[in-house]
Structure 1
Amino acid sequence: MSLAQSTTSRRALLSAAALLPLAGGRAEAATAAPGSARDHYARAAKLAGRDPVLTTLVKALTPGVTPAQPKAPKPLKIFDNVAVVSTGFVSVTALLTSGGVILIDALGSPDEAGKVIVPQLKSLGVDPSAIKYVVAAHGHDDHFGGAQYLADRYGARVMMSPADWKLVAAEKPPNAPKHDLDIADGRRLTLGDTTISFHHTPGHTPGTVSMIFPARWRGRRHTAMLWGGTNPPAAVADKRIYLDSVLAFAATMRKAGVDVELNNHGAADYGLARMEELRAGAAANPFVLGRARTQRFMKVMEAMMRGRIATDLEAGG
């Protein structure tokens, strides 16, 4: 199955009233910038400086690094309308709207859904029966494993990109959800007072989806992004696709005025540590990076991906 084949098949996401096309298109295809792998990694390190969010990202994208398996944090509302439930390795982000809950990812199994997501949402005062949609950011089982449980128990609709529905159907992993709703690139879903926009950012998988949505904190509105798949793919061609996605999504973020950065693997972006800073009473919300710093985050990711491509090419890949 080719990426081109998998991305051209798109069903309607929801009813026409809930979906609005986004203006603009993808960035032009990325090409490897001049310089050695060492040059690109040095640029990433310089961009990151001593910023713990950015230095953590550099480490997460460094070749040969094994993804961290940190201790699970207690659940937390990181914004007035955004809650995070996590096993440590992977996190679920709940958007709390006036019309119910949009859940981004669903952990790895029905057992984790029933024993982690449900009780931890309840501990934050969130009724799990209000979950209307479960969005799988990509087609790996640590992100969709609990989705069917939530669909069966609460009637939630399960959403994934067409390319990753195909990926799941081909691989037939345990706990795969039944094919339900397709996420079309550049579409919006409105639930209650909240609109979330979906953007295909392939690379980690053929159909990885990243999102932009409002986040409110102490009376102020912010614009958040959530990058859908961090670990780079093995093949050089797929790394180039990943780099394309970084460039395109950075441009989308700039246009939307994104000032909040989130990730479904909180050890990859200092997110778990930021949860603890917030829990301890940080004066400012540490997830609000500001527009310039969120763009720098993407620049670091770009430099690291160029380095990863160069590393492969220098090794004869």
Structure 2
Amino acid sequence: MSFGQSSPSRRALLAAAALLPLAGREAEASAAAPKSARYYYDRAARLAGDDPVLRALVKALTPGGALPPVKPLSPLRIFDNVAVLGTSFVQATALLTARGVILIDALGSPDDAEKIIVPGLRSVGADPAKIKYVVVAHGHSDHFGGAQFLADKYGARVMMSRADWNLIAAERPANAPKRDLEISDGQRLTLAGTTVTFHHTPGHTPGTVSSIFPVRWKGLRHTAMLWGGTAPPAATTDKRTTLSSALAFASRMRQAGVDVELNNHGGVDNGLARIEELRAGSTGAGNPFVIGRSRTQRFMKVMETMLRGRIAQDQEASSGTSSAGGAASPGRSTHVCC
């Protein structure tokens, strides 16, 4: 057998073999290299595609932007047993049962409670005097401001995580409710056959709570989640905590079979537009909040990816490098508090 010039020499083969470990090490180094903020923001945009719910989340989690104008929001039952009350900026979610109301969040002030929540419940066929619990998703005033008014007027019990009770005790904000019931991680609250499961999802605040509960649409049962606090906190360590919370809650959602996505700031998830679609009857027999198990998981994946981008951007800023830039950002947020 003869070897022509096209056949590799023994020396060339040995040289190529020697390069294999180096190539492997280079590949490993490339895989281990930290990803840029641009990488994560672009990845989140690809994950969102043309889905309006996911695109809104990408926009909301992109750095920059200003507070949206606050406009009235007419109350609406978005499910047979769930009503939304509030403004275009922040909403309270009322779970309606045969034995009373579980209200998640209480808007920003006693005036909001008296002029928005109370008449809003009446307009959707619920009695505000039957508010049994006010669940505060996190310790910011736009979520607890009306809680004490409802407790004083109707005897409602106010619930919040211990960490956020401590937060408001330290900060002493106006309209803070008196310390009442503490929400533990994994706690279940049942009223007339409706069971809400609370999960600690710290990060936005030290004691943010996200919920999973059953809803009904035209008699059919679905399982909803309500994420308790969306806007990333300022500190990088707190962003990492939020990321861990998102990963853990996504797992809880998967286990519970969540197919409905809700938020207490409807601007961050296209919720306001979906409310108006329901009000107009343009969705037919469908409900735009029922997005399916796959899309709820993709929603959390987009959130995870954007949080990784925000962490990477913090790291780039601290090291004096930047790859995010205006062009890399998938959009400009109109929300800085949620």
| TM-score, scaled to structure 1 | 0.89
Residue of structure 2 in register with 1:118 after alignment: 118
The Cα of 1:97 is off from its aligned counterpart by 1.1
Identity over aligned pairs, percent:
72
Q: Is the 8 A contact 1:99 1:193 kept in 2?
A: no
**Unaligned residue ranges in structure 2 (runs of 5+):** 1-31, 320-338
Q: Tell me, what secondary structure is at the counterpart of 2:196?
A: strand
Residue of structure 2 in register with 1:309 after alignment: 311
Q: Tell me, what secondary structure is at the counterpart of 1:292?
A: helix
Residue of structure 1 in register with 2:229 after alignment: 229
Residue of structure 2 in register with 1:72 after alignment: 72
| TM-score, scaled to structure 2 | 0.83
The Cα of 1:33 is off from its aligned counterpart by 8.9
Q: Tell me, what secondary structure is at the counterpart of 2:74?
A: coil
Q: Is the 8 A contact 1:94 1:104 kept in 2?
A: yes
Q: Is the 8 A contact 1:70 1:267 kept in 2?
A: no
Residue of structure 2 in register with 1:55 after alignment: 55
Residue of structure 2 in register with 1:296 after alignment: 298
Moved more, 224-233 or 275-284: 275-284
Describe the shift of the 1:127–1:251 C-alpha distance in structure 2 as closer, same or farther (beyond 3 A): same
Describe the shift of the 1:33–1:159 C-alpha distance in structure 2 as closer, same or farther (beyond 3 A): farther
Q: Is the 8 A contact 1:33 1:306 kept in 2?
A: no
Moved more, 67-76 or 225-234: 67-76
Kindly indicate whether residue 63 of structure 2 is the aligned counterpart of residue 39 of structure 1: no
Q: Deviations over 1:104-130 (max 9, x none)?
A: 000111011001110111111110001
Moved more, 95-104 or 33-42: 33-42
User: Structure 2 CA distance, aligned partners of 1:34 and 1:97?
Assistant: 49
Q: Deviations over 1:127-152 (max 9, x none)?
A: 00010000000000100000000000
Richer in helix (by share): 2
Q: Tell me, what secondary structure is at the counterpart of 2:204?
A: coil
Q: Is the 8 A contact 1:58 1:301 kept in 2?
A: yes
Runs of 4+ in 1 over 3 A off after TM superposition: none
Residue of structure 1 in register with 2:23 after alignment: none
The Cα of 1:70 is off from its aligned counterpart by 4.8
State the aligned residue count.
286
User: Structure 2 CA distance, aligned partners of 1:51 and 1:92?
Assistant: 25
User: Structure 2 CA distance, aligned partners of 1:245 and 1:236?
Assistant: 14
Residue of structure 1 in register with 2:143 after alignment: 143
User: Structure 2 CA distance, aligned partners of 1:71 and 1:295?
Assistant: 31
User: Structure 2 CA distance, aligned partners of 1:241 and 1:196?
Assistant: 24
The Cα of 1:98 is off from its aligned counterpart by 1.7
Write the mapping of 1:101-250 to structure 2, written as runs, cut at 5 A.
101-250=101-250
Residue of structure 2 in register with 1:267 after alignment: 267
Q: Deviations over 1:273-302 (max 9, x none)?
A: 000011111121000000000000000000
Describe the shift of the 1:243–1:100 C-alpha distance in structure 2 as closer, same or farther (beyond 3 A): same
The aligned amino acid for 1:62 is: T
The aligned amino acid for 2:269 is: D
**Unaligned residue ranges in structure 1 (runs of 5+):** 1-31
User: Structure 2 CA distance, aligned partners of 1:33 and 1:42?
Assistant: 17
Q: Deviations over 1:219-238 (max 9, x none)?
A: 11000000000110000000
Q: Tell me, what secondary structure is at the counterpart of 1:74?
A: strand
Q: Is the 8 A contact 1:224 1:262 kept in 2?
A: yes
The Cα of 1:47 is off from its aligned counterpart by 0.5
